[in-house]
Amino acid sequence: MINKNRIVKNFLDLTLIDGIHGKESEVAGNLIHRLKKLGLTVSMDQAGKSFGGDTGNLIAKLPGNSDYPPIFLCAHMDTILPTKNLVHIIKDDVIYSDGNTILGGDNRAGIAVVLEIVETIIENEIPHGNLEVLFTVCEEAGMHGAKSLDINNLESRLGLVFDSQASPGSYIIEAPGAVSFNIEVKGKSAHAAVSPEKGIHAIQIASKAISNLKLGRWAETGMLNIGIIEGGKAINVIPDFVKITGETRNANKDELNYQKDYIKLIFEEAAKEFGGSVQITFSEKYDGYQFDENAPFFEPIRKGIADAGFIPTPIKYPGGSDANVLNNKGLTAVNLGVGFKNAHSFNEHISIENLVSAANIGLNIVKNYYNGKS
């Protein structure tokens, strides 16, 4: 039932609208027009005010049979980088940019998929309960739209999120929480040639600590990374200060806390060895989640994927999304593979087949959910 030409056109049109995180007002205006034209009632919350953005989350509702359970479909409106002056190139049924901008598949592909599901349901008069559409803002900068969402504005307590590079047929059962950290290493300055023994080398402390860290992958979805190092004033001065910025992730809260303690211990030991000191600040970005694969809400999801001709594939995914925030707000949000590739880069692309397949899978899941198979 999915209209291939329509979903491709909608995707191409949506990616031409420039709207990075915090500046999604033009995207929101376009979507309000589209959703109202389809007959949905649309409201906007005040999420943008909480982080200095120019618009809020959109919640649209398509009334249905109240005997069926409600469900929401979610995607985010912002892109990580601008798509201004985007030029599309379609080669072998794969959509690219010309390499001068990102494509914006993350997450305009998700929006196009949601719109296609809704329009297909309407034009084919597919029986449904109350269907809700949630288009969030500022996902790329920390899921701020989802964090500001009042879930009481939604009737649904279960929904589908279309925001993963995983291939269609995949559904995420685990995703990590993330914590960023700032570490200030303090030493003592001295003339590097005349009296180096009077100094305490902050860079040496930092390098010793970093060399002792287990950087990279932790378990299946966890990680630890040092991303930024700043310090030093001149080549003939023992540096007395270094600032280090990094991030650690884990789906398991206890393991994430262990990783924080581990980072603190390694840096404190290095500082003690050389006579310096460290100050560490951790900032919670978002929590992780882990689903029970046997949970009953997965039944219509697996069946919907199979009905679309794919093998249902549960995966543990190392990236975060609005699903992290929504799940930790008490909703059940299952993130599905859409299949855009190389997100956040100028080589981002998506095949037309994946775009159509993601919509077909979503439609079949909705149909199964409304057939009482939840």
For the chain, how are helix, strand and coil distributed in percent, rounded to 5?
35, 30, 35
Structure tokens at 364: 């079949």
Structure tokens at 284: 């919670």
Report, as residue numbers or ranges, the catalytic residues.
Answer: 78, 139
**81 and 342 in contact (C-beta within 8 Å)?**
no
3-state secondary structure of 170: strand
Place of tokens 């031409």: 16
Distance separating alpha carbons of residues 64 and 214, to the nearest angstrom: 52
Distance separating alpha carbons of residues 274 and 93, to the nearest angstrom: 59
Tell me whether residue 268 is exposed, middle or buried, using C-beta atoms within 10 angstroms of its C-beta: 0 to 12, 13 to 18, 19 or more: middle
Is the previous residue joined to 107 through a cis bond, with omega within 30 degrees of 0? yes
Structure tokens at 369: 């959910």
3-state secondary structure of 327: helix
Amino acid making up residue 276? G
Distance separating alpha carbons of residues 103 and 84, to the nearest angstrom: 10
Amino acid making up residue 228? I
Distance separating alpha carbons of residues 267 and 23, to the nearest angstrom: 38
Q: Concatenated DSSP letters for 148-192?
A: H--GGG-S-SEEEEE--SSPTTEEEEEE-EEEEEEEEEE-B--BT
Beta strands 313-316 and 170-175 are parallel
* H/E run at residue 37: helix 25-37
Query: Greatest CA separation found in the chain?
Result: 84
Residues 6+ apart with CB under 8 A from 44: 28, 32, 55, 56, 57, 58, 59
What does the DSSP 8-state code read for residue 157?
A: S
